[in-house]
Structure 1
Amino acid sequence: MPKQNYAITVAGGGSTFTPGIALMLLEEMDRFPIRKITFYDNDADRQEIVAKACEIYFKENAPEVEFGYTTDPAVAFTDIDFVLAHIRVGKYAMRELDEKIPLKYGVLGQETCGPGGIAYGMRSIGGVLEILDYMETYSPDAWMLNYSNPAAIVAEATRRLRPDSKILNICDMPIDLEEKMAHMVGLKSRKEMQVGYYGLNHFGWWHKIYDSQGNDLMPEIKEHMAKNGFADAISDTNQHVDESWKHTFQKARDVYAVDPETIPNTYLKYYLFPDYVVRESNPEYTRANEVMEGREKMVFGACKEVIEKGTAADCGFEADAHATYIVDLARAIAENTMERFLLIVPNEGALENFDSTAMVEIPCIVGSRGYEKICQGAIPQFQKGLMEQQVSVEKLTVEAWIEGSYQKLWQALTLSRTIPSASIAKNILDDLIQANKDYWPVLS
């Protein structure tokens, strides 16, 4: 789709992450020129606060870019080149329930892992499919870059229900961790590394890491991991890491110890140490509360201040620097750059001893015709066993959504490593059904 300027729709216009994404797009205009940015959300009131503030910022800093916001799909998705989708169906109120309901039963409550991730996935599937259908109706040549959570369940749903759609399912967590590893070995950027990686989303391992000269970086990174996990790289890369994330980055040391031949994704702590996570959790104040009291108030407060003052000068908005991978990915498609990215794609032999229909997260080369998978060979028995169990959770969840099956969702919860028994899984499921009655399909 080579052209001079591109039109972008950000689906999830009311997100607290949207201002950072918008500013990042403006900062990258020299590499990826934009003629139009449109915010889309089905919550008009929430989006209006974010969008009005961004509108003022655009007028003052990029008046040449056409900016708009809407709740009308026809307006949002007509004449565009890319959809950047980061929706949260049910917003943080439902995330709070995802986290607190399992904790009632001594099971971890987490946004994308365990029962909370399954509940969130059951809400997200319909929302992502709806946006994809809007895009294909109004701009059939456009591409959707989807980083809506939980990405593993959403990706399986799009594989099953929209197999021919122009959608790339991606996640920013490996990007963040690769930046931390680059910092550990004295590199300026993860782009100076070439990696081998395999797994499911939020459930993977690095097994090869080289610098641009081909030097093996794994031994030095392993030394850091054995001592402090990813915590060695926190202070200089991000001064504003929430306390809960600091614990997660440090706990990666124990996750690494389970298989010191690979470097783990931090989310594996929820599957390998669920008892620890429950002990460290406060059932009355979870991560959702931390975000609502922190990021939500901060971003919306800043937006309201911009609107009241009528200027974005000294507003405190910052571009989401690590989200530049979104521009890299869009450029790869638009300009056929053939760069490497970690994508969530159908396995089809890329992991030679694993389910061919599984949606796996692996390196791919991306160009104007889509992606080409980079085979990672056979995976070790330990990872294979864990992944087979988790991919079954994800597949059963999607089948439950498609079929409206209570039985299959109970099976999905029962299979999760985070839940100790089928009886506890059933109790959690019954509570989640009640909490999600406005969002899930009816189960029978």
Structure 2
Amino acid sequence: MKKLNLVIVGGGSTWTPGLLGSLVKFKEEFPLKKVTLYDIDAERQSHIGRFGEVLFREQYPDLEFNYTTDKDEAFNNVDFVFCQMRTGGLPMREKDEKVPLSLGLIGQETCGPGGFSYGMRSIRDMIELVEDVRSRSKDAWILNYTNPAAIVAVALNMKFPDDHRIINICDQPVNLMKSYGKILGKDYHDFEPKYFGLNHFGWFTNLYDKDGKDLLPELREIILKQGFAPEDAEQRDASWLETYGMVKDMLEDFPDYLPNTYLQYYLYPYYKLSKLDPNYTRANEVMDGREKRVFAECDRIAEQGTLDNLEMVHNDAHADMIVELALSINSNLRKTFIIIQENNGAVNNLPDDAMVELAAAVGSNGCEQYHFGNIDTFYKGLIENQYAFEKLTAEAYFENSYQKALQALTLNRTVNSAKKAREVLDALIEMNGSYFPELR
């Protein structure tokens, strides 16, 4: 089997150590010749890079590994690109969360005004990344899980409509399935999901086991009685535990399907606003918690020069998912993943150009969505409203349109007021400065 060249964009991410561990885990099925970390922040990436040197020296000694800020070194002659960039870093995430909160609106990195802000920043860098890769490795697979994945996917589809080697995916459906597996005492890899919606805005309608039994009714009853927690609850910050806990509330009100956790911001915006601290947000939790723990552990391993007593904070579901996706492509396994892709009739009563999140078979020819059929009026209404927000956001970017940006935020269920939309839009424009296009 051919050995592959892989680059991880956003090499300084605190999720990268877990991803490097997954590459070791799958080295027989997904053999690699070279792995390169790429980041524009050399100092941040060096923590992860020095850890990677120790990891691969001990567990993957025939692998060529390096980390760089040079695009030619990173993107020449690569087969796969894993993309997890964060334009503006955690300091800008903090502003995405705190500026809306200061105006009495939801402050969250991918939902509402914060997601709009993050999306407008991310589009330019994601387009530049695709062009950088294509100019050096025209046939590379770009597996993108950069947030906010919904807006990014819409924008990339507008800019590169014929590039079918860009695959947009999110780990939250997998995180949920892993948590379902823990509740039921089953391996989540054996689940066959039926899922519909948009990124961070979807529902499981069925969850079949390997014998074809639908486990969703049983799961619903367990969650309604016992509540819901992430599979890796002991590694999660307090805000994540509350986020998962809200699944029970959503099921009590809307018991048809199992919801994505992020739906709580759209279904209960006033309640969620009351629970958010405008002075200490999720970004602060990450900077004070996971970021310090991961970097400190990476530095410790690098200094001692061995993996002995490794205590790494990571997310196996996130890391394994992206490697298993690449493996399914490379070996044409046609395994099922929940992918963000243009609808094109997969959901009968949604627009064809909507970037929907649905189950799909993934192989060497890309993604083939499973046909879903019709969705009910309530869910259709929610999705059409949210997709209008996402599409208008991308159009605002490409057209430098203040008017479309205002329309987008006015539509968003966490805002729902043109006056508040204008107020927060003006604040976000000032906050982002040159990160934003000039909106006229």
What's the TM-score once normalised by structure 2's chain length? 0.97
Task: Kindly indicate whether the alpha-carbon contact (under 8 Å) linking 2:10 and 2:86 is maintained by their aligned counterparts in 1.
Answer: yes
Letter in 1 for 2:422: K
Question: Does residue 8 of structure 2 align to residue 13 of structure 1?
Answer: no
Aligned to 1:157: 155
Task: Kindly indicate whether the alpha-carbon contact (under 8 Å) linking 1:16 and 1:295 is maintained by their aligned counterparts in 2.
Answer: yes
Task: Kindly indicate whether the alpha-carbon contact (under 8 Å) linking 1:23 and 1:318 is maintained by their aligned counterparts in 2.
Answer: no
**How far has the Cα of 1:319 moved from its partner?**
6.0
Runs of 4+ in 1 over 6 A off after TM superposition: none
Letter in 1 for 2:323: V
Alignment of 1:382-401 (within 5 A): 382-401=378-397
| Higher deviation after alignment, 303-312 or 49-58 | 303-312
Question: Does residue 353 of structure 2 align to residue 327 of structure 1?
Answer: no
| Higher deviation after alignment, 102-111 or 253-262 | 253-262
Aligned to 2:177: 178
Task: Kindly indicate whether the alpha-carbon contact (under 8 Å) linking 1:22 and 1:319 is maintained by their aligned counterparts in 2.
Answer: no
Match among 118, 124, 128 for residue 120 of structure 1 = 118
Distance 1:320 1:104, change over 3 A: closer
Question: Does residue 284 of structure 2 align to residue 289 of structure 1?
Answer: yes
Match among 309, 312, 316 for residue 317 of structure 1 = 312
Alignment of 1:348-427 (within 5 A): 348-427=344-423
Aligned to 2:438: 442
Question: Does residue 254 of structure 2 align to residue 259 of structure 1?
Answer: yes
Letter in 1 for 2:273: V
SS at match of 1:245: helix
Task: Kindly indicate whether the alpha-carbon contact (under 8 Å) linking 1:24 and 1:319 is maintained by their aligned counterparts in 2.
Answer: no
1:40-99: per-residue Cα shift (whole Å, max 9, x none)? 011122112221222232223322110011111111011111000000000110000000
Match among 178, 190, 193 for residue 192 of structure 1 = 190
Aligned to 1:274: 269
Task: Kindly indicate whether the alpha-carbon contact (under 8 Å) linking 2:290 and 2:313 is maintained by their aligned counterparts in 1.
Answer: no
| Higher deviation after alignment, 339-348 or 178-187 | 178-187
Residues matched between the structures, number: 438
Question: Does residue 304 of structure 2 align to residue 306 of structure 1?
Answer: no
Distance 1:209 1:311, change over 3 A: closer
Letter in 1 for 2:375: I
SS at match of 1:205: strand
Give the Cα separation in 2 of the matches to 1:114 and 1:79: 39
Alignment of 1:219-234 (within 5 A): 219-231=217-229, 234=230
Give the Cα separation in 1 of the matches to 2:363 and 2:303: 44
**How far has the Cα of 1:296 moved from its partner?**
0.9
Give the Cα separation in 1 of the matches to 2:112 and 2:143: 25
For structure 1, the 5+ residue unaligned runs are: none
Give the Cα separation in 2 of the matches to 1:136 and 1:204: 32
| Higher deviation after alignment, 118-127 or 47-56 | 47-56
Aligned to 2:83: 85
Give the Cα separation in 2 of the matches to 1:220 and 1:103: 38
Letter in 1 for 2:372: Q
Give the Cα separation in 1 of the matches to 2:418 and 2:313: 46
Give the Cα separation in 2 of the matches to 1:245 and 1:399: 32
Alignment of 1:51-130 (within 5 A): 51-130=49-128
Give the Cα separation in 1 of the matches to 2:223 and 2:425: 36
**How far has the Cα of 1:404 moved from its partner?**
0.9
- Identical aligned residues as a percent: 46
1:252-271: per-residue Cα shift (whole Å, max 9, x none)? 11112232111110100000
1:227-281: per-residue Cα shift (whole Å, max 9, x none)? 34423xx4x6442221111111111111122321111101000000011111111
**How far has the Cα of 1:222 moved from its partner?**
0.9
Distance 1:186 1:316, change over 3 A: closer
SS at match of 1:352: coil
Aligned to 1:246: 241
SS at match of 2:135: helix
**How far has the Cα of 1:417 moved from its partner?**
0.3
Letter in 2 for 1:198: F
Note the aligned Cα RMSD (angstroms): 1.4
**How far has the Cα of 1:185 moved from its partner?**
2.3
Give the Cα separation in 1 of the matches to 2:314 and 2:92: 27
Task: Kindly indicate whether the alpha-carbon contact (under 8 Å) linking 2:120 and 2:436 is maintained by their aligned counterparts in 1.
Answer: yes
What's the TM-score once normalised by structure 1's chain length? 0.96
SS at match of 2:235: coil
Letter in 2 for 1:303: C
| Higher deviation after alignment, 22-31 or 372-381 | 22-31
| Higher deviation after alignment, 297-306 or 280-289 | 297-306
SS at match of 1:331: helix
Give the Cα separation in 1 of the matches to 2:285 and 2:228: 22
Letter in 1 for 2:359: P
Give the Cα separation in 2 of the matches to 1:422 and 1:311: 57
Give the Cα separation in 2 of the matches to 1:352 and 1:125: 29
Give the Cα separation in 1 of the matches to 2:427 and 2:355: 29
